[in-house]
Amino acid sequence: MIAKELFDPKSIVVVGASDNRSKPGGKVLYNLIENNFEGEIFAVNPKRVDLDGIKYYSTVEDLPFVDLAIIAIPAELCLQTCEVLALQKKTKAFIIFSAGFSEVGNFELENKLRELIQSVNGVLIGPNCIGSIQKKYKGVFTSPIPTYYDEGCELISSSGATAVFIMEAAITIGLKFSNIYSIGNGLQCGAEEILEHMDESFVEGQSSKIKLLYLEQIRNPFKFLKHASSLISKGCKIAAIKSGISEEGSRAASSHTGALASSDIVVRALFKKCGIVYCSSREELISVAGVFQTNEIKGKNFAVITHAGGSAVMLTDTLTTNGLNVPSIDSEKTKDLLKKLHHGSSVSNPFDFLATGTAEHLGEIIDFCENETLFDAMVVVFGSPGLFNVKDVYLCLLEKMKTCKKPIFTVLPSVINAKNEIEFFLSKGKINFSDEVVLGHALANVYSAKNNYLRNKIQLTAMDFAGIRNIINASDNQWLQNKEINELMQAAGIELPFSVEIKEEKEISLFYTKFAFPLVMKVQGVVHKTEVNGVRFPIQSENEMLLHFKDLMQIQGATSVLIQPFLKGEELYCGAIKQGDFGHLVLAGLGGVFLELLHDTSGALAPIDKEEAKEMLTKLKAYPIIKGYRNKKGINEESYIDLITRLAALVYVVPEIEEIDLNPIIATEDKLYPVDIRIRIQ
């Protein structure tokens, strides 16, 4: 729980204060005063600071008790100052602007600070940040200070400058803000802790429902997931950038906020699990936020309404090639509407009411679309060629946005010709998506994130959990042995093909009658079997069995030989890899070239329910092979889904598993046979 003094301090001290606006310790003071912080403001600096509305002290020792400290002094002085504040002045909330901590390798200093602040149950925003904006105070040394709206977006940013750049671009398109958190290095209070606070303090009808994140690191994925999921299940909408996805970008992030790398696929899987909209740029984040702020998209069928044909064509291309629809509408339905518009207008969706179209025409079209069940949402593109004022059109839009139940997204491209009218439009709390294609991508992005699979709501497939734990606890191998693997699979309810492990030649005659030829023989005790020619097939006779057994046992490390039926069918794959604190990433797909060459795998974080497993499969390029196509029958998809959920449940309850590979799984029409399994535990 974050100390309440961060949100509602009765008093604030700026340490390193100044009356010079161009210094952080000055600018923040002016921001506090000019934005009417109602509590007491203290300023500390050896050099006198004279400003109306503040009390000056030359040292922190002289201060009275104070709730929140904003610190703008060199890194090496911070610890001592915070000690005085935390231990003597009852200060609970700290915002440290100063850089020079973990991002330059100074971990020790940052850790000491963190311990100090933990010890008093305090909270530390930063270091290496621009501060925080709250309803009660504006504790940043930057501008702009967005007008505070209770329902405005909350922003959490690893990077202070990026937070500023996001605000600047966002205000320009009409986005509203509430609380801003520049978390900097975020060691004591990161995005996870702020999400936790948002989650626990959420009040329906009062709390903001839009959260925007710019992150360079997710330190505690489970905590992140828990609270992001919870917020989304309460009706919140979250969009996030997690930068540093490339090797080079990750190098940059490390020297910026000391971030550690995590792979993009894992971050995407995490966001998918929560229902967070994944963004790659400030522009995308802001556009998605604009979609959030406008209204909820309930379906994928869009009406495109414009007086500018080119924009309608590009928008329609974008929507329909990204999973949304621009359905055409029967001319019988639109004939009355058409009569009300100028000759030459087109109403088959896109609705193009021509360059000469009026506000009244726009109103008629919007009313039509509002009442036509075919459509779930509308996009209106309306600019100005500069002939006349289009304020009446924007007034009409504002009126319709108030009365219509369906969301109306507005593209007002004439940033020069209709500058004043757009400013008027924005002043009414609305958004201008100035590029129709950028909006189209944001709409598709938001719509596709609607399907999420909240990890804390997934029921684990029933299996012999005690048995599983027993096998794992008893094992002292890094790579599990064949016997252990068989038992583990049995406990997990994953059926294996009948197989026999033999160690001595004489056993062959005992066992071979149990099988029908052809068979496959695999050397045991060796991890990469194929590379040492350790897999032999098809074995057609007892004689061949004997020959190959002798040969296989010659391989270095060979302990025994496994004999299985030689199965033919589609080769599938299912596996999981531990991704540090993110848990296990479960991957599924077809084997062979699909896996090795095309890397055509679907991934999701464990645990996985049947619905998500199904979605994983449908996302594969090779899905038609699973489903069957042309004259070729598919595989037993239900069994594959069942296997994926079992494997995901298994790794979820056995965090010791570092990696598990079922590859290949031979899929005949009715059954799945995992014929080679590797499991490594730590």
Q: Is 330 a binder of its own copies (CB under 8 A)?
A: no
At 26, list the tokens.
């000055």
Smallest separation, CB 140 to its own copies (Å): 9
CA distance 277 to 241: 9
Smallest separation, CB 202 to its own copies (Å): 27
Q: Is 222 a binder of its own copies (CB under 8 A)?
A: no
DSSP 104: G
Window 132 to 151, contacts with its own copies (CB under 8 A): 141-144
Q: Is 544 a binder of its own copies (CB under 8 A)?
A: no
Smallest separation, CB 397 to its own copies (Å): 17
The phi and psi torsions of 396 (rounded to 5 degrees) equal -60, -45
Query: Which residue, 122 or 139, has its beta carbon nearer to its own copies?
Result: 139
In the three-class reduction of DSSP (H, G, I as helix; E, B as strand; rest coil), residue 214 is classed as: strand
**CA nearest neighbour of 366 among 333, 341, 400:** 400
Q: Identify which range of 50-58, 196-204, 239-247, 357-365 contacts its own copies by CB under 8 A.
A: 239-247
CA angle 600, 605, 611 (to 5 degrees): 80
At 276, list the tokens.
């967070």
**Binder of its own copies out of 52, 204, 388, 427 (CB under 8 A):** 388
Check: CB of residue 245 under 8 Å from CB of residue 264: yes
Window 401 to 430, contacts with its own copies (CB under 8 A): 413-417
Query: Which residue, 46 or 344, has its beta carbon nearer to its own copies?
Result: 344
Return the residue matching tokens 């012999």. 464
Q: Is 240 a binder of its own copies (CB under 8 A)?
A: no
Q: Are strands 672-674 and 138-140 parallel, antiparallel or unpaired?
A: unpaired
CA distance 583 to 577: 8
Window 244 to 303, contacts with its own copies (CB under 8 A): 244-249, 251-253, 255-257, 280-284
Query: Which residue, 33 or 314, has its beta carbon nearer to its own copies?
Result: 314
> What's the farthest any 2 CA atoms get from each other in the chain?
100
Q: Can you say whether residue 40 is alpha, beta or left, with left for phi > 0 and alpha for psi between -120 and 50 degrees?
A: beta
CA distance 183 to 200: 19
Query: Which residue, 391 or 621, has its beta carbon nearer to its own copies?
Result: 621
Helix, strand, coil percentages in the chain from 3-state DSSP, rounded to 5:
40, 20, 40
Q: Is 583 a binder of its own copies (CB under 8 A)?
A: no
Return the residue matching tokens 């504006």. 138
Query: Which residue, 416 or 510, has its beta carbon nearer to its own copies?
Result: 416
Q: Is 630 a binder of its own copies (CB under 8 A)?
A: yes
- Interaction pattern, residues 608-627, with its own copies; x per rule: CB under 8 A: -------------xx-xx--
**Binder of its own copies out of 24, 139, 221, 575 (CB under 8 A):** 24
Query: Which residue, 162 or 645, has its beta carbon nearer to its own copies?
Result: 162
Q: Is 100 a binder of its own copies (CB under 8 A)?
A: yes
Residue 46's H or E segment, with its range, is none
**Binder of its own copies out of 36, 80, 147, 321 (CB under 8 A):** 321
**Binder of its own copies out of 307, 361, 430, 584 (CB under 8 A):** 307
**Binder of its own copies out of 54, 68, 241, 468 (CB under 8 A):** 241
Q: How far is CA 34 from the centre of its chain?
A: 37
Smallest separation, CB 193 to its own copies (Å): 20
CA distance 508 to 513: 9
Smallest separation, CB 391 to its own copies (Å): 13
Q: Is 58 a binder of its own copies (CB under 8 A)?
A: no
Residue 21 has, within 13 A of its CA and on its CB side, a CA count of 5
**CA nearest neighbour of 173 among 287, 65, 253, 39:** 287
Q: Can you say whether residue 205 is alpha, beta or left, with left for phi > 0 and alpha for psi between -120 and 50 degrees?
A: left
CA distance 116 to 110: 10
Query: Which residue, 244 or 603, has its beta carbon nearer to its own copies?
Result: 244
Q: Can you say whether residue 653 is alpha, beta or left, with left for phi > 0 and alpha for psi between -120 and 50 degrees?
A: alpha
Query: Which residue, 237 or 282, has its beta carbon nearer to its own copies?
Result: 282
- Interaction pattern, residues 190-219, with its own copies; x per rule: CB under 8 A: ------------------------x-x---
CA distance 435 to 605: 35
In the three-class reduction of DSSP (H, G, I as helix; E, B as strand; rest coil), residue 66 is classed as: coil
**Binder of its own copies out of 53, 64, 235, 385 (CB under 8 A):** 385
Window 170 to 189, contacts with its own copies (CB under 8 A): 171-172
Q: Is 676 a binder of its own copies (CB under 8 A)?
A: no
Task: Give the binding-site size for its own copies (rule: CB under 8 A).
Answer: 98
Query: Which residue, 53 or 323, has its beta carbon nearer to its own copies?
Result: 323
Smallest separation, CB 54 to its own copies (Å): 19
